[in-house]
Amino acid sequence: MKTSKIGAIDIGTSKVCSLIAETDGTGLRVLGIGSVPSHGLQKGQVVNIAEARESVRASIRAAEKTAGFRMESALVTMAGRHVSSGNKRGVISITGNRKQTVEQKDVERLLEITRSENIPPEETVLHQIPRYYRVDGQDGVKDPVGMFGYRLDVETHTITASVTSLENLVKCVIGAGVKIDNVVFEPLASAAAVLTEDEKRDGVLLADIGGGSTNITVYKNDSVYYSSVISVAGNQITRDISLGLGLAPELSEEIKVRYGSLVPLPQTEKPKPLIVEGEEIPYEDLFDIINIRTEELLRLVLLQVNNDTGGELDPAGSLPAGIVITGGTGNLPGLAEMAQQVTHMPCRIGYPPRVSGIADSISGPQYAASFGLLLWKLETPEVFYRQKMNNRVFKNSGVLSRLIRLFGKN
Ligand SMILES: Nc1ncnc2c1ncn2[C@@H]1O[C@H](COP(=O)(O)OP(=O)(O)OP(=O)(O)O)[C@@H](O)[C@H]1O
Ligand SMILES: [Mg+2]
């Protein structure tokens, strides 16, 4: 059977993770992985192109080394506050064919008209996800092609990104010598890896809590209903530890990852203080700092979803499948239980599925987005970002980077 290669690069504030996989169109085999600390990003956005490009390059090279061949092109994640979203409606008349049936070209015309409406020049469409169609009076249609009718309506969930931020991201990848297949809003990629079909149908909130930002998406009736970004995530927990305990940021990060927990402390026995570099750190203090910040973050997620949807998405009522958490902060022991308590919804941590190859090294929730990109390539045909800028950026920086690769630098 004919196989093809897929590249994926999750560009985060804490790490860049590149994957190379092979597919026969149905199954996936992960052949290469390269996860390296990231530089030049803040709160999900590229702030220093040269530094970010080097991180991306290092991650790609590490994946290529394990796979034993080059990554030619890849899907890439995008996150951060410059991403915005909304549900848009559009309508067209069905004319020009004798049978008066909806054709694929009518659907494409309707989506195109709806897509460009009310998009400011400094933003570009990343995703346009049709939620449902209406043919004449008939509501909730998933695929209108072939149906009889005079009027076709659609409701779409449209996600836009700042042109500048997207361009910076594209420059980093192309500058590292890899062409871009698609750019995917991070939580959609994570959702592709961890959500079940039942959860997407019943209603579920996915929060990818990384280092620099918490990226949220909500699925209802099988499609994306809402998405947004909060600029608070794991790095704020680390910062609180650093300020609260008077420790260096690197040490605070290490302590958080090694000893951090949200599992309530036993009432009876007093936990021993941690001895770090000869200093005593009361465990209760570390526990309290992590608890307070994490609880606040979870409340912020609820508040933002509620405010943005005018209370329509009362998570406890309208999302029976609850909340699924991905991203590195999902490793905090006790997070699912705390989220359940704070949100009054069922909650679980989303782990990428096990597939063949070397995928056991990407089993944590921080790898949901990179793994999800591979699935996105298999499942979702839409690509919009390129229409506006791929050629321009590629023309400017692609030639040089391709030459560099040709002559074997790096
Ligand atoms: N065991 C752990 N306990 C607590 N936090 C952890 C643990 N492991 C990782 N983290 C935190 O997860 C965060 C990194 O998550 P992730 O790798 O998903 O971020 P990212 O994708 O690079 O960033 P972003 O998507 O926000 O730009 C860091 O803040 C890190 O401290
Ligand atoms: Mg991330």
pLDDT, average across residues 386-396: 48
* Structure confidence by residue, pLDDT tens digits, 123-167: 999 999 999 999 998 998 999 999 999 999 999 999 999 999 999
Boundary of a domain, candidates 309, 329, 349: 349
Q: How many Å separate Cα 168 from the centre of its chain?
A: 18
Atom number, ligand 1, closest to the C-alpha of residue 186: 25
Q: How far apart are CA 83 and CA 78, in angstroms?
A: 8
One domain for residues 306 and 248 = yes
One domain for residues 174 and 137 = no
Mutate to test the pocket of ligand 1, among 232, 366, 367, 371 (most ligand atoms within 8 A of CB): 366
Ligand nearest to the CA of 350: 1
In 3D space, the residue among 230, 185, 238 whose CA is nearest the CA of residue 209 turns out to be 230
| Low-confidence winner among 96-100, 101-105, 187-191, 236-240 (lowest mean pLDDT) | 96-100
One domain for residues 169 and 179 = yes
Ligand 1 atom 12 nearest Cα = 328
For residues 88 and 155, the answer to whether their CB atoms sit within 8 Å is yes
* Structure confidence by residue, pLDDT tens digits, 289-321: 999 999 999 999 999 998 988 777 665 568 999
Tokens of 176: 């590292």
CATH of the domain at 18: 3.30.420.40
Q: How many CB atoms lie within 10 A of CB 406?
A: 9
Atom number, ligand 1, closest to the C-alpha of residue 333: 3
* Structure confidence by residue, pLDDT tens digits, 247-268: 999 999 999 999 999 998 777 7
Q: Is the CB of 260 under 6 A from ligand 1?
A: yes
Q: What is the pLDDT of residue 18?
A: 98
One domain for residues 19 and 126 = no
One domain for residues 168 and 282 = no
One domain for residues 326 and 368 = no
Boundary of a domain, candidates 349, 375, 391: 349
Boundary of a domain, candidates 128, 162, 196: 162
| pLDDT category of residue 68 using cuts at 50, 70 and 90 | very high
Q: Is the CB of 331 under 6 A from ligand 1?
A: yes
In a domain, 118, yes or no: yes
17 Cβ contact list (under 8 Å, min separation 6): 9, 10, 33, 34, 35, 59, 362, 366, 367, 369, 370
Q: What is the pLDDT of residue 313?
A: 67
Atom number, ligand 1, closest to the C-alpha of residue 234: 29
Mutate to test the pocket of ligand 1, among 9, 10, 13, 238 (most ligand atoms within 8 A of CB): 13
Q: What is the distance in A from the centroid of ligand 2 to the CA of 13? A: 7
**Strands (DSSP E) along 273-387, which ranges?**
274-276, 279-281, 323-326, 347-349, 356-357
pLDDT at 399 over 60: no
Ligand 1 atom 9 nearest Cα = 328
Amino acid at site 1: M
Q: What is the distance in A from the centroid of ligand 1 to the CA of 233? A: 8
Q: What is the distance in A from the centroid of ligand 2 to the CA of 217? A: 14
Mapping DSSP to helix (H, G, I), strand (E, B) and coil, where does residue 47 land? Answer: coil
Q: What is the pLDDT of residue 31?
A: 93
pLDDT, average across residues 89-103: 88
| pLDDT category of residue 397 using cuts at 50, 70 and 90 | very low
One domain for residues 168 and 155 = no
Provide the sign of the torsion angle of the four alpha carbons 226, 200, 338, 246, taken in this order: negative
In a domain, 202, yes or no: no
Q: Is the CB of 78 under 6 A from ligand 1?
A: no
**What one-character DSSP code corresponds to residue 328?**
G
CATH of the domain at 154: 3.30.1490.110
One domain for residues 269 and 338 = yes
Q: What is the distance in A from the centroid of ligand 1 to the CA of 90? A: 39
Q: What is the distance in A from the centroid of ligand 2 to the CA of 169? A: 14
In a domain, 209, yes or no: no
Q: How far apart are CA 265 and CA 283, in angstroms?
A: 10
In a domain, 198, yes or no: no
In 3D space, the residue among 178, 168, 159 whose CA is nearest the CA of residue 393 turns out to be 168
Q: What is the distance in A from the centroid of ligand 1 to the CA of 184? A: 19
* Structure confidence by residue, pLDDT tens digits, 20-48: 999 887 788 899 999 999 999 999 899 99
pLDDT at 409 over 60: no
Residue 103 lies in domain: 84-162
One domain for residues 248 and 342 = yes
Q: What is the distance in A from the centroid of ligand 2 to the CA of 209? A: 7
In a domain, 131, yes or no: yes
In a domain, 194, yes or no: no
Q: What is the pLDDT of residue 6?
A: 95
Mean pLDDT of the chain, nearest integer? 89
Q: Is the CB of 327 under 6 A from ligand 1?
A: yes
Q: Is the CB of 211 under 6 A from ligand 1?
A: yes
pLDDT, average across residues 352-367: 82
In 3D space, the residue among 1, 12, 6, 8 whose CA is nearest the CA of residue 366 turns out to be 12
Q: What is the distance in A from the centroid of ligand 1 to the CA of 30? A: 22
Q: How far apart are CA 4 and CA 25, in angstroms?
A: 8
Mutate to test the pocket of ligand 1, among 331, 338, 362, 371 (most ligand atoms within 8 A of CB): 331
Identify the residue with better confidence: 355 or 407.
355
One domain for residues 145 and 12 = no
Q: How far apart are CA 80 and CA 370, in angstroms?
A: 16
Domain count, the chain: 3
Please give the share of the chain, as a percent, with pLDDT higher than 90.
Answer: 73
* Structure confidence by residue, pLDDT tens digits, 161-197: 999 999 999 999 999 999 999 999 999 999 999 999 9
Q: Is the CB of 332 under 6 A from ligand 1?
A: yes
Provide the sign of the torsion angle of the four alpha carbons 370, 371, 374, 380, taken in this order: negative
In a domain, 32, yes or no: yes
pLDDT at 9 over 90: yes
* Structure confidence by residue, pLDDT tens digits, 207-218: 999 999 999 999
One domain for residues 36 and 171 = yes
For residues 292 and 244, the answer to whether their CB atoms sit within 8 Å is no
Enclosing H/E stretch for 316 = helix 315-318
In a domain, 196, yes or no: no
Mapping DSSP to helix (H, G, I), strand (E, B) and coil, where does residue 306 land? Answer: helix
In 3D space, the residue among 229, 220, 173 whose CA is nearest the CA of residue 201 turns out to be 220
Q: What is the pLDDT of residue 396?
A: 46
Q: What is the pLDDT of residue 380?
A: 76
Vertex 79 angle, CA 33 and 254, to 5° = 60
Q: What is the distance in A from the centroid of ligand 1 to the CA of 257? A: 9
One domain for residues 234 and 342 = yes
